[in-house]
């Protein structure tokens, strides 16, 4: 069976595609440098806060494990084998 091509399809207009790409490039180039600096500082602040929270949590977990006795090695009993 022969398929009939879609009659509704329009050929791509290269000028339209290029103009859309140029619009996107212009938007990226028009990006405010102050906003970029603010975002960089915000990301660095998030990383710093994450490190501090992680350090506090890890110290707390080690403290709780010490108090409950989970970090002490088990008592080693010598097993006498009788033959």
For residues 71 and 65, the answer to whether their CB atoms sit within 8 Å is yes
For position 5, what pLDDT does the model report?
54
Q: What is the pLDDT of residue 39?
A: 93
Report the greatest alpha carbon distance in the chain.
94
Every domain of the chain and the residues it spans: 31-69
- pLDDT for the residue 21: 61
pLDDT, tens only, 19-63: 556 655 655 556 788 888 999 999 999 999 999 999 999 999 999
Angle at 42 between CA 41 and CA 48, to 5 degrees: 90
Report field, pTM of the whole predicted structure over 0.75: no
């Amino acid at each position: 069976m022969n398929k009939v091509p879609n009659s509704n399809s329009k050929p791509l207009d290269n000028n339209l595609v290029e103009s859309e790409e140029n619009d996107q490039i212009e938007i990226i180039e028009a990006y405010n440098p102050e906003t970029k600096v603010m975002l960089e500082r915000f990301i660095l602040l998030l990383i710093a806060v994450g490190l501090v929270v992680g350090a506090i949590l890890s110290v707390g977990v080690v403290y709780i494990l010490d108090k409950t006795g989970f970090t002490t090695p088990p008592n080693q009993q010598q097993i006498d084998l009788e033959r």
